[in-house]
């Protein structure tokens, strides 16, 4: 069995008690906190920034996975690094110089990744695999929680898995493959079979009455 990681998106948490929501979801068996940053410019919504990241940092030892849906990218990177982000991903369309932005994230001591919208080709990976720790495929258009999984993402996952496996076989270096959008208990097994190892789930977990039961149900599906 490969290692599977579950990353609840706090976008669907109760913001009035965010620290507790972070602690509860990790206590319920989650691995990673997924932190969605939207700027009302690159995406049509506005969420949370470095101050909120800094505020939740003491609530958990789990990795904080910062998903930047912002344009431009570079100026905000050091702020998130200082706020305790472990991993920072960005959309290639939002950066004028993708290689430079990846380098900047690594210089700040964070892991780095690229995020691919449903219609963004994986060719952006071609010359930067050595600088990437995670590939994040969007299975919805970014901007909102609670959207429906776009089925064409399954083929794209298979292609990303092929590229990553080929790279790892050649270099011995691991790259995580994360999926984000519309992940539920009833489709997580199929998504895993297509190649994902890290699963963002916002509404599926935070809108459920029992986080532990939902995460356990996801893990049971993954073990099938």
Q: Which residues bind to ligand DX5, rule: CB under 6 A? A: 9, 11-12, 34, 36, 67, 140, 142-143, 145-147, 180-183, 200-204
Among 67, 91, 156, 184, binds Zn ion (CB under 5 A): 67
Q: How far is the CB of 59 from ligand DX5 (least distance, A)?
A: 19
Which bin fits 129, alpha (ψ -120 to 50), beta or left (φ > 0)?
Answer: alpha
Coil, helix or strand at residue 57: helix
35 is an annotated ligand-binding site residue: no
Closest CA to 188 of 161, 156, 214, 160: 214
Q: How far is the CB of 166 from Zn ion (least distance, A)?
A: 26
195 is an annotated ligand-binding site residue: no
* Contact status: 39 vs Zn ion (CB under 5 A): no
CA distance 219 to 29: 9
CA distance 49 to 68: 9
Residue 180 known to be catalytic: yes
84 is an annotated ligand-binding site residue: no
Closest CA to 174 of 129, 121, 114, 116: 129
Contacted by 12, from Zn ion, ligand DX5, none: CB < 5 to 8 Å by type: ligand DX5
Instruction: Name the residue with the smallest CB distance to ligand DX5.
Output: 202
**In this structure, what DSSP letter does residue 44 have?**
S
Catalytic one of 31, 133, 180, 197: 180
Indicate which residues carry an active-site annotation: 36, 180
């Amino acid at each position: 069995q490969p290692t599977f990681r579950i990353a609840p998106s706090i976008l669907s948490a109760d913001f009035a008690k965010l620290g507790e929501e972070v602690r509860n979801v990790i206590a319920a068996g989650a691995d990673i906190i997924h932190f969605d940053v939207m700027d009302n410019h690159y995406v049509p919504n506005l969420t949370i920034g470095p101050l909120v990241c800094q505020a939740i940092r003491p609530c958990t030892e789990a990795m904080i996975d910062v998903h930047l849906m912002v344009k431009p990218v570079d100026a905000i990177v050091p702020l998130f690094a200082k706020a305790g982000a472990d991993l920072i991903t960005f959309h290639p369309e939002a950066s004028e110089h993708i290689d430079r932005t990846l380098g900047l994230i690594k210089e700040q001591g964070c892991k780095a990744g690229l995020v691919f919208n449903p219609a963004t080709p994986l060719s952006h990976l071609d010359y930067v695999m050595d600088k990437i720790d995670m590939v994040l495929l969007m299975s919805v258009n970014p901007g909102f929680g609670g959207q429906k999984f776009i089925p064409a993402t399954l083929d794209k996952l298979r292609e990303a898995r092929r590229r990553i496996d080929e790279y790892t076989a050649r270099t011995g270096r691991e790259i995580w493959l994360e999926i984000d959008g519309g992940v539920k208990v009833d489709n997580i097994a199929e998504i895993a079979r297509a190649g994902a190892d890290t699963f963002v789930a916002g509404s599926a977990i935070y809108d459920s009455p029992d986080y532990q039961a939902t995460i356990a149900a996801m893990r049971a599906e993954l073990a099938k």
